[in-house]
Structure formats: structure tokens, C-alpha cells
Structure 1
Amino acid sequence: MKRFLSVILTFAMLIMTLASCGGSRKKVDISGAKSLSEINGTGAIIAAQSGTFHLQAMNEQMNGVTKKEYKDFSALLMALKSGSIDGYIAEEPTAFVVTLKDDTIAYLPFVNNKKGFSVTGDDTGIAVAFKKDSPLVEKVNTILDAVSEDTKLELMNQIFEVCKDTEKELNLTYALTSDNTDTSNGTLKISMECAYEPFNWTQTTAANGAVPIKGSSNTYANGYDVQMAKYIAAELGMSLEIVANEWDSLIPAVQSGAVDGIIAGMSPTEERKQEVDFTNCYYRSNLVIIYNK
């Protein structure tokens, strides 16, 4: 009798598993959307990274959709490719790199405050974060204010080229390069995720000016944030040390003094300004939605 019941239970579980697999949800096609309003009300599943302005914008400005959040962009991309979500929110440079590497993926090129997300101030800008009342804020602002918008754009375009194959040495001379080789002012410890292309990522070689990640053997960080950090450190007369942290650990690391600052594609939102001090923005972007073709 026990054996019979066991067989019945096993069979029932198998049926439930098959039913679950066969009953996968129908994809909601958002590819034709010309504005954010055209996605609202469709029932699509849209996601954003936890703890970001992307998540805040999704929660406040999207309705009639199912909203989800994921820990990082690797998880978001995996969810998209598996069909668990119909799209996720990102800055346009991140979306561009994703599509550069995978032609089955595209993005909706929304423009902030037009047909895309509504933003104010520095919501979609990214800045350097320091501990409250740090004298480095003023010093770094002086450095950033001297960098032209053309230089910032040229640097991002160079980073796009590196993203095509992060391990391939291109022998680039970056648009943002310091002539100062004096590092007598100590070490600037900067934290980032090292998992957010094109702003920061992890690679296994020092190709294209990558910087070793502290405490990680044969692992290097590179990206727009890394090159910006190298420039800032050099202009301050300091050497650079990169520390990898998960997103939610970035601000606590600064507050505790474990690192000096954050250069990690972080927006200076009002909430974060209560916890750390930000410099002026060193890049600004539109929020877009990435989807499967």
C-alpha cells in the first residue's frame, strides 16, 4: 500500500511539473512602444535593479504592469532571456552594450521628460560619492569641472569599443588621461560593483588600462567608471585601489571608512544624499527599457 501511494504521489508531482513547464506565460510584446504610456496597461512584466532610481521610477511611473526587482543586471538579463520578464529598465549606455553583444535583444530609446520617464535634477546623472563632509568632494569637483562634455562622450565611445571584447588589447589612448605621475598623496580607495557594463565590469587581464581588484587574484576592473577613477586619482596625486562590493554594500563601505569613495554609475538621489555627499555629475543618460526581440 505504501509503495502504491508513493507511486501515485510521484506521478502527481510529475504531472504538476509538466503542467507548470507547459503553462509558461505568454510574452507581452512591447517592441512597438513609442512612449512609456504605451507600455502602461499592457500587463507586461517589467523589472529594475533593487536599490536604484530605476526601481523608484518604475514603481512611481508605471501602472497596469507587473513589477519585479532583481539584485543586479546579470540577474535582470538572465530573467529577460529566460522569458520571466518582458523588459527591464537601464541607462542607455548599458542598453547599448547589451545589444552590441546580443542581436536578439533591443531597447526602447526613450528620452527623459519627453515620451520616456520623468526625471528631475540629477536623477539620471551619475556622480562620485564620499563620506559626509569629506574634503574630497570640493577637490574632485574642481577636477570634474575641467572635463569637457566632448571628452566625456569620446571616452564613452572608446569604452563601447572595448566592450566588444574586454580581453582584447586595443592599445587605446583614452580621451581622459592625466599627465600626472606623482602618487605621493597616498591611495584613493574606490568601491564599485564591477558588474555594470559599460560603467564597470570584471575581466581576467589588464587589457585596455584595467585595474586590479583588491583581494581578488588575476581579476581586474575596467569601464567608464574605472577610467574616470584613474583620472581623478592621478589628478589628486594618488594611486588608485579598486574594491568590489555588491550594490547594497557600496554606501555602507564609504560610511564605515573601508573605502574613500564610490564611482559606480550611482545617481545622487535625494535619499542617498542623506547618507553620503556627492560631487557634480560626471555623466548623464536617458532611462530606457531593454527587451527581447
Structure 2
Amino acid sequence: MSDDDSANPMETAKGAVELVGAVIKIAGDHPDVKAAGGNLAKSAKTLTEFINVGLLPIAAINYGYDKARSYFEKRFSADVETAAGNIPPENLQEPASSVIGPVLQGLAFTHEDDNLKDMYLRLIATAMDSRHAKKAHPAFAEIIRQLSGFEAGLLKTTLANLALPIVEIRMGTYDEKMQFSKFSFPSSYRTLQTHVLPLGNADGTPFVSQELPAMVDNWVRLGLVSVSYDTSFTVENSYDWVKTRPEFLYWVPQDAPPLAKLDMAKGQLKSTAFGLQFATVIGARGKA
């Protein structure tokens, strides 16, 4: 058994995390690193030089366990070259340490998940491109860290749209005197299912996940989207899809009291300005 194998992986990871901030600051102040950066700025810049001089030394900090070491040594450079290969040499710049440090730390622990890895790599590419680097907000690395790989794929699909119809399925209870009025509104309701979206699988069938409502709440918490059931789309047929969804059909037919009725609250899910910027950086919407 090697020393690496005998070490507690959680303790090793914790130690790597604690060292990241301090080592990045020291590395950034080191005269050799500054000189290397200055030489790159004055010479013909190549993507390989930026990776070798600007990224790999920081990535080495995150060699907290064998899988991370193997990734950074064998695959990281090729992944960055793929993500940033279209940046003209004259537009290459050293990424801000406030962005690249957390990104490389995140990659150390998530590089085996393609969805999360792709987001991190696109963030690196944006931070290295002088034309778009300002859009690579330091908070974006932390946002990716708070997503699961499965959730990241759904989020990318969702952010591809400026807004989507969203509904909450409710069981409404009506006042007996108003039950036959076409203008009647429920006196109270019970929420059966919240945050139902018109998402589909590749084969055209509806995508259904019990975890989706919590994911949407997480996206709201992260400031990427807003959800309101006080506003809705006015375009005809915007919500016709709801009554064919498994989440709605589950409650039909319903074993309900006589004065109860299956209803829906129509709403909108909208990308925030912060969410749209995040979407462009990770490649969900157009170019950064």
C-alpha cells in the first residue's frame, strides 16, 4: 500500500482545500511567476504556454488524491485546449486567480462528471479570453460547485430559454354557493405538485423527476432564475401541455370531495440577468 493509499482521503481533501487560497496568493506574488506572465504578455502567446505556466502550477495544489493527480497530469491540458482552442492568440490572457483557483479546485473533485467538467472548462476558457473575461464572474465557480451533475444538465437546458411556462398543480375547494358560477374561484387549495416544467426526453416523452422542484428552488436560491405564479404567458395554448403531463394525470381521476376540483396555477420561470450571464459563459446561450 502506498502512502497515498493509506491516507484518509477526506483529511487529504480538506488539507488541499485549506491550502488553495494561501498557495495561490504566494504563487501570484512570486517573482518567477510574475516574470513568466510578463514574458508571455510580450511574446507570441500560445495556449500551451498559458496552460503550462498559468494553470498547471495551480492545478498541482489540488493533487489531493490519485484520481485528481491523474486527471491534471494526463487529460487537463487537452481538455483546456479543446475548450479554449478558438481563442485568437492575441486575445489570450492569464485568468484571474479569483476565478481559476476555485475552478481548478472544483475540477479536482468533479472531473469525472462530464456536465460539471464542461461547465468548469468553459468558465476557464472565458476567463482566458480578453474579449469576454469580465463575464467570468468569480461566483460562477461556486455556483457550479453547488450543482449535481444531473442537475447541471437540466439547468443548461432550462437556461437556453429566456422564460418558460411553469405550473403548480393544486386541489381547490369551492364554496357551495359559487360552485356553478363560471367566475368562481377556490376558497382554499392544497398544493399537489409544484414547479412542473415542459421538459422532455430525447425520445419525445415527458421528462419527470421527483427532484426537479427542489432543483428549481436551488436555481432560485443561486440567483439564476426567478419563479412567479402571479404572472403567466398570455399566448394561447401556452399551458395546454400541462394536462398531458404525468404529474397532472397522476391525479386524474381523483378521489376528491364533491366541491373539490383539480386546478393549476399558471406561472413563469425567467432567467435573471445573472443567470443569463452564467448561461453564456457555460455555453447554454450563444457565445460568451
Give TM class, smaller chain. Answer: under 0.3
Q: Could you say which structure has the higher strand fraction?
A: 1
TM-score normalised over the length of structure 2: 0.24
TM-score normalised over the length of structure 1: 0.24
Greater relative CO (CA pairs within 8 A, separation 6+): 1
Q: Which structure has the larger Rg?
A: 2
